[in-house]
Amino acid sequence: MKRGKLIRYLRESGCSLLREGGNHSVFINPLNKEIASVPRHAELGDFLAEKICKQLRLPKIKRGK
């Protein structure tokens, strides 16, 4: 999955960028104060994307194009 697609999904779900780290972007879900790190790679594995969504307590992102 492209990193941009995951970032777009997180923002559409209400999450916002908390801070930029050295190798990760840290997002927060303001509804439940959950935090997750998103690595700065062009491609992320589907398992990792699902894990990030789970950490932020969001529904799984749909796989596909």
**pTM, to two decimals:** 0.90
What is Dmax (Cα atoms) for the chain?
30
Cβ count within 10 A of residue 22: 5
Residue 61 lies in a domain: no
Residue range of the domain that includes 14: 3-55
Query: Closest Cα partner for 8 from 38, 35, 31, 32?
Result: 38
Number of domains the chain contains: 1
Per residue in 7-36, pLDDT tens? 999 999 999 999 998 999 999 999 999 999
Rounded to whole angstroms, the Cα distance separating 56 from 36 reads: 6
Q: What is the CATH number of the domain that holds 20?
A: 3.30.920.30
Rounded to whole angstroms, the Cα distance separating 18 from 28 reads: 6
Q: What percent of the chain has pLDDT over 90?
A: 88
